[in-house]
Structure 1
């Protein structure tokens, strides 16, 4: 290893180069993102290697891999650069003057029920903010830590002190059936419910509905008669319409997919909690705080906990 470089010779621009190379696993992609040539990126990484006395990146099987030391340095670099941006931000935040991209990771439920109101509000209150919606699937938290998303919205119950969470509301489950279904009128008992022909939303195997977890707790999961499995609630109404199938979905979502169907109470006593999740990198950034508060104002209908670290207690 060559002679160490004085750490004070390193600036935030160099740390940002490291962050982008780490994210893209490519010197070329990082150079494109930063608007510089590849040689400038290579020079900066070589300088950082001397500062940290570590190779930072090694090439194996034609892929660029970060060392363990690099992983630690990148996480700290993200925190330092984010805090410096916050320090440099004007003390009076005005959303109308913001001109940057904000990325939200979520899934079908949130895209149907939450995102439309967010878009309308941003158009009015932050017209220059560029919003991007990406799929959360089962890797929403990882997308936050990889800096691919600024905010995660959904029914996530992961307890981890590296994440902050703020609950929006709880949504109970209902059953959707065709109006001609024999059980379309009146209430369902649990035994009647279990014996119906169910269409089960699997969410691609990345998440389990709370009512299934509750049935498992009750020792009733194996009694649920599932005749069809689908990966998403998209198109669920068309599957149920004109059939003897029953679909169990959150009540708010049912309003968006239940046209022409009968909605009846689900006998499984449980609910799903929809919340916001983010990391310490953006915890005190004025724009991020404003966006989170805006989404909370639009969606919170009942009293729920204030912001806190996800690992600090029950969520």
Structure 2
């Protein structure tokens, strides 16, 4: 390992290595890179020759990284970060570049922002593609390990190498079917009602944003669903309630009635979060600017 020829390494090889390490699969890495499997296999074999280590060994249906591969993760990320920092020196025109981003957001934030962003980009003849993943209650590792380019969330992970920008702040409302019940008139009425909550498949709950001096803890839900889009089907035709951002009445929950919560509750902010390595990248900066502008218009 001491005598390997580092001049044969390049950014694409290192990116391929990280994706194989993340996915434990050559085929999944190829899908992420939008290349065929043989291209990734060729890159892996080249890395093995350069580094003098197998890096990955087959185990069951996937690949298991060697100790060398695991030890290389942090320095490879550091090298790619430094390479990416060079991009602020290059000219940038969104219409002359092919851009691809991976964003993590639950369906509420996803549907408020990204359909508008993509429609506008395509109307402007910008070659933009996006991979949208659920975030649950996001972890630092989502960004630190380069599994996504940015996160939209009301529960931003906190770390010194992560940057965040508040996109908007909104009131929380209670949503219900007006054909089956009235809005709760008091704290007791709210607490004694049956509720629907979102418990994300990746962990965490939408109830974590409900902070109130009057409410010791959110009521235990009678029904939980894995995403916000599942809420209307369970509320319509029942006396169930759900507590969500008032803004959702413009999108996912537009078929329901809403009313202010009958007690004092903290407003909820949604943040855009990214790793500091992306701050000066002009394409990433362009993406952040588009999201910020769409968020501003959405709140009008």
TM-score normalised according to structure 2 size: 0.80
Deviations, residues 111-149 of structure 1 (Å, cap 9, x unaligned): 221122212221234521222322323556544344332
**Change in 2 beyond 3 A, CA 1:241/1:25:** closer
Partner of 1:247: 242
Q: In 2, distance between residues paired with 1:271 and 1:145? A: 29
Cα offset, 1:253, TM superposition: 0.8
Q: Secondary structure, in 3 states, of the residue corresponding to 1:84?
A: helix
1:44 alignment partner, one of 47, 61, 65: 47
Q: In 2, distance between residues paired with 1:255 and 1:110? A: 12
Partner of 1:177: 176
Number of residue equivalences: 293
**Change in 2 beyond 3 A, CA 1:261/1:114:** same
Is the Cα–Cα contact under 8 Å of residues 196 and 225 in structure 1 kept in the other structure? no
TM-score normalised according to structure 1 size: 0.76
1:262 to 2:257 alignment: yes
Partner of 1:190: 187
Structure 1 residues not aligned, in runs of 5+: 303-315
Q: Secondary structure, in 3 states, of the residue corresponding to 1:119?
A: helix
Q: Secondary structure, in 3 states, of the residue corresponding to 2:166?
A: strand
Partner of 1:306: none
**Change in 2 beyond 3 A, CA 1:130/1:39:** closer
Cα offset, 1:287, TM superposition: 0.1
Structure 2 residues not aligned, in runs of 5+: none
1:271 alignment partner, one of 267, 275, 296: 267
Is the Cα–Cα contact under 8 Å of residues 26 and 40 in structure 2 kept in the other structure? no
Q: In 1, distance between residues paired with 2:124 and 2:270? A: 24
Query: For the pair shown, which has the larger CA radius of gyration, 1 or 2?
Result: 1
Q: Secondary structure, in 3 states, of the residue corresponding to 1:168?
A: strand
Cα offset, 1:153, TM superposition: 1.4
**Change in 2 beyond 3 A, CA 1:254/1:22:** same
Could you say what the CA RMSD is over the residues aligned between the two structures, in angstroms? 3.4
Is the Cα–Cα contact under 8 Å of residues 177 and 262 in structure 1 kept in the other structure? yes
